[in-house]
Structure 1
Amino acid sequence: MRAIPPSFDPAAVAAIDARLAGVAADHGVRVPWAIESGSRAWGFASPDSDYDCRFFFVRPVAAYSALWPARDVIETPLEGLLDVNGWDLGKAIRLATAGNATVGEWLRSPWVYDGDPAFRDELLALVDRVVDPARLRRHYLHVGRAQWHRAADGPATVVLKRVFYAVRPAVTLRWLDDHAGVPPMSLDELLDQADVPSDVREEVGELRERKARTRELGSAPVPPAVARWVDGIFAAEPDLSVPRSPRLRAEAEAGFQALLARWAPG
């Protein structure tokens, strides 16, 4: 499966393809899913946004019982706009079970460099079974609040490009009010399916148009409707401690073994 928009630089895509082939050959792994993450997949890229390729990889079965196991992350050099790295299948499942939403987002990216839909569907079904909705909400709350605070550039201004990094988690929290399962990655899809006031949508749209045509938005007062709405979302969301579930861990272990048997390289 491949789904790449015409706006992507062909040279960057070719370089990413070469890196993915190199990862498989050099590390002896299978790469069943490789996608674009970051602002290009979220739907608010700038002209000079990085290409954030992320992938899942699976090692041979024997590697998972090795006395000195290999790293569960494969990273390639950061060069220019290219940022290409990935997670081992086991790491992905552990993180998803702990409430990390990144795994589900990678599986729902609109832009796919190379991937097997069967792998995506099987891992997404497992993530749906092991994710704790309360942990998922806590993930988006923490990410959103952290980005909102990082955006601050003074008593009355914010770094405008960082507003998006807080808006998307806030919209996702509203999406989770009315939906179960793994949220979409794309801001457009989230906005289409979540209860967001029209004035907030309008201001977000104006900011996105500016971001799409400039390398740097700079700092300015945050749009008023967005400021009120995001502040309200993060203030109202309870930050609860969620105990780990032995049942979900057992489900994750069984799912990992099944995926490993099917997708590990021979």
Structure 2
Amino acid sequence: MLATGAVAGVLAGLLGVGGGIVIVPALDFALGARGVDPAIRMHIAVGTSLATIIFTSVSSARAHHARGGVDRDLAVYWGPFIFVGALIGSVLAAQVHSEALALLFGIVAFLVAVKMVLPLDELHPWSAVPRGAGGSVTPTLIGLLSSMLGIGGGTFSVTALTLMSQPIHRAVGTSALFGLLIALPGTLGFVVTGWNDPNVPPGSLGYVNLVGVAAIAPMTILMAPLGAALAHRLSKRQLNLAFGSFLLVVSVRMLWRALL
């Protein structure tokens, strides 16, 4: 769990993600080794991952903000929609078949990864972040899907913002802040939905295991600033390649889980 937290922290600072894509499978494995009921194992892994992302995103966002990498106006505009979407997603998570959701996520992540890895930096369908009624759909979906998957939102928000002509470093830094707006309501939702489940392991609040949080969160806090410092030393192309490569790994893992 300490090693998992260290890797997740570096990824959070480097790519603007919450580290959940590392934390969730690691927790799933650890909970399986402890004999936790398979029917709720992923719920606990996702809920616990979201709880650790609260700490990770604060550390990462502060590091990016110190380097001018957080767009405050965008955070104010998208923030409420992401928050509401995350709250809805945490409630829906128990109702949606995990394999179907993993398949959808894997396909989307793969397409996005191809876009980031290929030299398509000038592909910007939108010249700016959309405003008005239509502008609320994207952040709401980002919050909803991220909460359901136990991730900090960077996988979706960094991609969406770069397609909307936002600089990659700015997108990564702002996405780190969005992770907090996803993790807070998401964690609350998993606590409430799992509160009366008699099969949760000791040391749990609903589907959030405090032992896992205590082991992972300190390492993510320690390592996130290192990832943020590394992000601002890389060029735009290097950061695109790093994020695209990360998404390729994510998509393969998700597709493997969904189809096998």
Q: Which has the higher contact order (CA 8 A, sep 6+)?
A: 2
Q: Computing the radius of gyration over CA atoms, which structure comes out larger, 1 or 2?
A: 1
Regarding TM over 0.5, the answer is no
Q: Name the structure where helix makes up a greater proportion of residues.
A: 2
TM-score by length of 1: 0.25
Q: Name the structure where strand makes up a greater proportion of residues.
A: 1
